[in-house]
Amino acid sequence: MKKSMEIPDCQYPSGPVLVQPSGSTPKHRLYLSNLDDQKFLRFSIKYLYVFREAVPIDRLRSALSDILVHYYPLAGRLTRVVSGGGSEEGVESEEKLEVDCNGEGAIMAEGFVDISANEFCSRPPNRSWRKLLYRVPDASTFLGVPPLVIQVTHLTCGGMILCTAINHCLCDGIGTSQFLHAWAQATANPLSDPQVMPFHDRTMLKPRKPPQINFSHPEYGADLIGNNSSSSLSLNQFLLSQPLTPISITFSSSHILHLKKQCTPSIKCTSFEMLAVHVWRAWAKSLELPSTLQIKLLFSANVRKKIKPNLPQGFYGNGFVLGCAETPVNQLLASNPYYGIRLIQLAKQSLHDSYVRSVIDLLEEKRSIPDMSASLVISAWSRLGLEELDFGSGKPLHMGPLTSEIYCVFTPVVGDLGAINVVISVPEGVAERFEHYCIKGFEEREEKSEIEGVNNGERYCEIVV
């Protein structure tokens, strides 16, 4: 296994600046829907981009200021909902959040690091990458971090690393991509308007009165079939207590096609469905889970077109719910991928308008959190256009998450539209087995040479300690 290498410390010539909207913006409190204001979304989505050629910081800052006129909630601050009409005597809610659209501004920091773009891209992901995103001082709570934090880090080769942290309560993956493309467009073409105007209002996702919870919602339920509660609790404790190893594995379009051919009988499926089942099976095998344990695959599913009426174009809030496929371990592993693919497809088919409305009502009544007791969570970034970002100096050499977490992310591969990069952290003692099960089954010579080849500075099937 290739050992990870830490990057040098960042040098900051000056402190960060607050970038405020360049024009006047509405001053009000923005309602966050129950899909926005879930407890498990109270974090920032952190992206990392590497560009061959840097864009002048003044241009980036000026364009950000201009685009924040349109995306003004990102220049505001998250706050707790105050009951009683917002008077001084009002009582703060411990549960519900909203956005104070006060135009306070986003944080942008500028740094320098002694490394080139090629050197950085040749290194596997590791925890030292976190130093490439400015840490807001004295932000002891989630509410203390502004919704948008950006760091531009200059490289020795003249390139730059761009890291963004966008609060998940304001945007989902589609929303973050929409905002980033608008910022990039404003940087490359300062006089242009956004191609898609943002839609801020989330009130069409308000709960019904009274709430109507018409489905069982296994994605949130903690009850498992049989006597699995102690086993699943042990699994969850094990995953959270172990030192984790970040793993990055890239599957080309030919690898995914190879996996699809393993299905018997053949089945029409998406690349996401195929790869999700493959990773889920590898995860279960590598953890050596009890054969009767009921496990779940939770995955984010866009419901903008499922809601009736559909969410408007430009809606950048959280327009997704969690799909849930569940099965005993022995059934998932005993069969070929066909069984798991059908579970995912059936889970996706269940996500209609009535189901989504039931999720919203459930969250209003119980403030439930997803069932993580024996679950693999997958978030797909691979079809959001994130790798197409261009601030005027060309598309990125690399796009991915700033950090690797216990949940799994499918990211795009720059320059290879059909490829998907799988990023996940697993316990150290499981890492080699997980990698083995992920790449097992490809032809020994031709496929292996492709898997271990280098593509745009990223190695295929890279495992990091």
Positions marked catalytic: 168, 390
Question: Which residues are CB-neighbours of 306 under 8 A, at least 6 positions away?
Answer: 351, 352, 353, 356
Q: Is 210 buried (19+), middle (13-18) or exposed (0-12) by CB count in 10 A?
A: exposed
82 vs 84: CA distance, rounded Å:
7
Cα–Cα distances in Å, from 352 out to 310, 313, 363, 440, 465?
A: 11, 19, 17, 36, 42
Backbone φ, ψ for residue 275 (5° rounding): -70, -35
DSSP one-letter code for 313: T
Measured between its terminal Cα atoms, the distance across the chain in Å is: 8
Q: Return d(Cα 413, Cα 175) in angstroms, integer.
A: 20
Structure tokens at 235: 């699994």
> Crossing angle of helices 57-70/173-188, nearest 10°?
120
What is the spatial distance between Cα 140 and Cα 127, in angstroms, rounded to a whole number? 21
Give the strand pairing for 106-112 and 320-328. unpaired
462-463/244-251 β-pairing:
antiparallel
Q: Are 125 and 405 in contact (CB under 8 A)?
A: no
The alpha-carbon radius of gyration of the chain (Å, integer) is: 22
Q: In this structure, is the dihedral angle defined by the CA atoms of residues 90, 92, 95 and 101, taken in order, positive or negative?
A: positive
